[in-house]
Amino acid sequence: MEPLYQQTHKQVHEVQSHMGRLETADKQSLDLVENEIQASIDQIFSRLERLEILSSKEPPNKRQNAKLRVDQLKYDVQHLQTALRNFQHQRYAREQQERQREELLSRTFTTNDSDTTIPMDESLQFNSSLQKVHHGMDDLIGGGHSILEGLRAQRLTLKGTQKKILDIANMLGLSNTVMRLIEKRAFQDKYFMI
């Protein structure tokens, strides 16, 4: 499992570095860069499926740690996928704005032209929808983080409880031995009495 994990981890970092190329790429190579990043992300997702299967086959003492590592990689890749989609969406919106601006600048207006209004309501609604989605994603990430912290705290509590139960079991085992010795001694005392 470890070599596949290392390869996947390395590929995640490569995709993160490629994300910086999106800002500097020219318009002709932008689609190519986006397609390369998306192909890498798809490949990482398929590797993650294999890693999940392999982590479930780890020995019990290593299984939890392996699963946490795979989940962290999955979270990182989902974040990269979201960042790529956001970039694409912003690029499409920019291109659409440029087209609309060009149309607006090339249009000749007359006094009776009824199409001189600019649709501001749609842009405002779109912007508010994007803000809601952005806040929703922040809330989702925060909720996932708090769930993960809660699970870690529960793990520590369960480990402490397990240790106490083992201590009690050891003490009971010792008590049983002492009880048997007392019963044996009581039987021997009766025997001597008789």
Mean pLDDT of the 7-34 span: 82
Looking at residue 104, its pLDDT comes to: 84
Q: Which residue has the higher pLDDT, 113 or 17?
A: 17
Contacts with 107 (C-beta within 8 Å, 6 or more apart), sequence order: none
164 pLDDT above the threshold of 80: yes
Query: How many Cα atoms within 13 Å fall on the side-chain side of residue 70?
Result: 23
194 pLDDT above the threshold of 80: no
Looking at residue 111, its pLDDT comes to: 64
Percent of the chain residues past pLDDT 70, beyond the cut: 93
Looking at residue 113, its pLDDT comes to: 54
How far are the Cα atoms of 31, 101, 161, 181 from residue 92, in angstroms, in the given order?
A: 12, 14, 55, 85
Report the alpha-carbon angle 10-14-19, nearest 5: 150
The whole-angstrom separation of Cα 170 and Cα 189 is: 29
Looking at residue 16, its pLDDT comes to: 84
Q: How confident is the model at residue 116 (pLDDT cuts 50, 70, 90)?
A: low
Mean pLDDT of the 90-116 span: 79
The whole-angstrom separation of Cα 92 and Cα 23 is: 14
Looking at residue 131, its pLDDT comes to: 92
Q: How confident is the model at residue 110 (pLDDT cuts 50, 70, 90)?
A: low
Percent of the chain residues past pLDDT 90, beyond the cut: 13
The whole-angstrom separation of Cα 73 and Cα 79 is: 10
Q: Which residue has the higher pLDDT, 169 or 37?
A: 37
Mean pLDDT in the chain?
84
